[in-house]
């Protein structure tokens, strides 16, 4: 597992990705838009999401302000 403290900046970039592993995200500040497959959630401070990274996904700021998150990435191949 690799824990990260990430500040995400607003962007127009919308590239969906997929890769081996699993991800857990916890929102500290701001809002996050998380899309996994066809499901879309807007997360607020205190919200979290967990998903299999092999599913197509996209995570980005929601709204015009930065978002600060804790991300824990597991690939199982280290």
- HSE (CB half, 13 Å, CA atoms) of 2? 9
d(CA 52, CA 20): 8
Is it the case that residue 78 has pLDDT exceeding 90? no
The reported pTM is: 0.90
d(CA 21, CA 57): 12
Confidence category of residue 71, pLDDT binned at 50, 70, 90: very high
Tell me the per-residue pLDDT of 16-68, one tens digit each, with 9 for 90 and over: 999 999 999 999 999 999 999 999 999 999 999 999 999 999 999 998 899 99
Tell me the per-residue pLDDT of 10-29, one tens digit each, with 9 for 90 and over: 998 888 999 999 999 999 99
Give the model's pLDDT for residue 77: 62
DSSP type of residue 17 = B
Confidence category of residue 76, pLDDT binned at 50, 70, 90: confident
């Amino acid at each position: 597992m690799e824990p990260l403290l990430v500040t995400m900046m607003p962007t127009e970039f919308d590239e969906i990705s997929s890769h081996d592993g699993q991800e857990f995200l916890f929102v500290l500040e701001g809002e996050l838009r998380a899309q996994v497959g066809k499901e879309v959630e807007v997360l607020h401070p205190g919200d979290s999401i967990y998903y299999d990274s092999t599913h197509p996904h996209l995570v980005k700021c929601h709204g015009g302000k930065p978002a600060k998150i804790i991300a824990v990435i597991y690939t199982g191949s280290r």
